[in-house]
């Protein structure tokens, strides 16, 4: 089956009792058993829920994975992966990634005795000096949030395999429409389904997709023991969002390409970070491992003062000033004070998340209207 068909059908059969074509929202906490421990596979809704089962099967299918596990947020999915580790273990993580992941690693797990090394992974070999017998996990994001850096997943996976280290890839930005990390050798794929998979800015959800049955058992144990599970309504919303993901992603990417080119030559813009440009340092790798460059980009204004940034960000009418990304509506975000505020300023400046950096999540509105909106806002800068 191809992606578009999987998105609409995988894991989803008409409801056997009524024929309902949409997976019902099984809003129940428990399931009646025929005799003690004799049941239809469902006991208690923290452990299993049929709406979640359908979603997990669909999620697995779209990443060409054997298993999918669904969580109450993207961060909860990341948290479950880190819970595979014990004090003393070490992780090598990308130095430019989602601020909430950085916060979870440094503020929750570092004090518990897990050590994190943050490394620029533009060249995968740069992780080698940090590998030792305690290294258990490599965590990467590609493209990264917000600088759109690209990391070669196949190369990184080869280094991890050689050293028996798990490789987890946060595939939120690319989505399975553009990139499939498991096919490139990763062990675990994590998504914030809050973003493109759900796609309508109406649900918080996260997931993990993987192929190894033993690892799946350990993660399932963590999922039910720690309890960060999504409710059935949330699962339903993600299932419904997924059905149009391929159509939405195509529109995001088409609008993204036009807007990136418009911004690149705009006199008030210093720089546009978008992997579709030939002079983007990761362009060749992006071309190799992604099917599309997508609708996420970051820009730096020539006038990088707080005032100029604020004028631009409060002048757009269609691009709404908000955290998050990947919904049908366009959003504009200031990483330094919003999504990435939990990263210390010195760290932010070092990697390029400067005061003048603005991130755009290009939605699927009419592109001419989006271009007009940006044109008008840039006149105010
Ligand atoms: C939003 C986001 C997360 C966290 O997901 P939540 O659903 O907000 O918990 C993780 N990684 C990336 C790249 C994100 O954009």
- What percentage of the chain carries pLDDT values higher than 90? 92
Q: Tell me, in angstroms, the distance from the centre of ligand 1 to residue 324's CA.
A: 8
Lowest-confidence region among 55-69, 332-346, 355-369: 332-346
How much is the pLDDT for 119? 96
Q: Tell me, in angstroms, the distance from the centre of ligand 1 to residue 152's CA.
A: 21
Residue 343 has pLDDT above 90, yes or no: no
Q: Is the CB of 140 under 6 A from ligand 1?
A: no
Angle CA(59)–CA(63)–CA(67) in degrees, nearest 5? 60
Q: Tell me, in angstroms, the distance from the centre of ligand 1 to residue 161's CA.
A: 26
List domains and CATH numbers for the chain.
Answer: 3-242 (3.40.640.10), 245-378 (3.90.1150.10)
Residue 347 has pLDDT above 90, yes or no: no
Take atom 11 of ligand 1 and give the residue whose Cα is closest: 98
Q: Tell me, in angstroms, the distance from the centre of ligand 1 to residue 77's CA.
A: 10
Confidence tier at 341 by pLDDT (50, 70, 90): confident
How much is the pLDDT for 351? 83
Segment holding 15, helix H or strand E: none
Regarding pTM above 0.85, the answer is: yes
Ligand 1 atom at minimal distance to the Cα of residue 206: 7
Beta-bridged to residue 301, according to DSSP, are 269
How much is the pLDDT for 373? 98
How much is the pLDDT for 281? 94
- Concatenating the DSSP letter of every residue in 281-314 gives TTHHHHHHH-S---SEEEEEESS-SHHHHHHHHH
Residue 350 has pLDDT above 90, yes or no: no
- pLDDT digits 0-9 by tens, 292-332: 999 999 999 999 899 999 999 999 999 999 999 999 999 99
Give the mean pLDDT of the chain.
96
Please report, for the chain, how many H helices and E strands are present, in that order: 13, 12
Q: Which of 70, 77, 98, 234 to mutate to test the pocket of ligand 1 (most atoms within 8 A of CB)?
A: 98
How much is the pLDDT for 117? 98
Q: Which of 59, 70, 71, 75 to mutate to test the pocket of ligand 1 (most atoms within 8 A of CB)?
A: 75
Residue 88 CB coordination number (10 Å): 10
CA distance 117 to 232: 37
Q: Is the CB of 100 under 6 A from ligand 1?
A: yes
Q: Is the CB of 175 under 6 A from ligand 1?
A: no
How much is the pLDDT for 357? 94
Nearest Cα neighbor of 319 from 334, 340, 303 is 334
Q: Tell me, in angstroms, the distance from the centre of ligand 1 to residue 208's CA.
A: 12
Q: Which of 71, 78, 100 to mutate to test the pocket of ligand 1 (most atoms within 8 A of CB)?
A: 100
- pLDDT digits 0-9 by tens, 247-278: 999 999 999 999 999 999 999 999 999 999 99
CA distance 186 to 135: 16
């Amino acid at each position: 089956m191809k992606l578009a068909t999987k998105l609409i059908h995988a894991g989803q059969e008409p409801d056997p009792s009524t024929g309902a074509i949409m997976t019902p929202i099984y809003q129940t906490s428990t399931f009646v058993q025929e005799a003690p421990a004799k049941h239809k596979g469902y006991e208690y809704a923290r452990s299993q829920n049929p709406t979640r089962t359908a979603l997990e099967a669909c999620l697995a299918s779209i990443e060409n994975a054997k298993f999918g596990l669904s969580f109450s947020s993207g961060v909860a999915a990341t948290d479950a992966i880190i819970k595979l580790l014990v004090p003393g273990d070490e992780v090598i993580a990308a130095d430019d990634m989602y601020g909430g992941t950085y916060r979870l690693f440094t503020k929750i797990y570092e004090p518990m005795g897990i050590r994190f090394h943050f490394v620029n992974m533009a060249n995968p070999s740069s992780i080698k000096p940090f590998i030792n017998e305690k290294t258990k996990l490599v965590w990467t994001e590609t493209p990264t949030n917000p600088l759109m850096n690209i990391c070669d997943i196949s190369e990184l996976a080869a280094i991890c395999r050689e050293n028996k280290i798990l490789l987890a890839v946060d595939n939120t930005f690319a989505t399975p429409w553009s990139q499939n990390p498991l096919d490139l050798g990763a062990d675990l794929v994590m998504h914030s389904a809050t973003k493109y998979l759900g796609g309508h800015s109406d649900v918080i959800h996260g997931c993990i997709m993987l192929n190894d049955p033993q690892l799946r058992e350990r993660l399932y144990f963590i999922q039910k023991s720690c309890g960060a599970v999504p409710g059935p309504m949330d699962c339903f919303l993600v299932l419904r969002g997924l059905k149009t993901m391929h159509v939405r992603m195509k529109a995001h990417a088409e609008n993204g390409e036009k807007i990136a080119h418009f911004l690149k030559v705009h006199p008030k813009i210093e720089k546009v970070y978008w992997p579709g440009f030939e002079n983007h340092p990761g362009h060749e790798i992006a071309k190799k491992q992604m099917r599309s460059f997508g609708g996420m980009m970051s820009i730096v204004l020539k006038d990088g003062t707080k005032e100029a940034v604020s004028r631009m960000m409060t002048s757009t009418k269609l691009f709404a000033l908000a955290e998050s990304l990947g919904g049908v509506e366009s959003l504009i975000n200031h990483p330094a004070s919003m999504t990435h505020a939990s990263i210390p300023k010195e760290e932010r400046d070092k990697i390029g998340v400067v005061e003048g950096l603005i991130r755009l999540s290009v939605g699927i509105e009419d592109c001419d209207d989006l271009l007009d909106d940006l044109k008008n806002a840039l006149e105010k800068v």
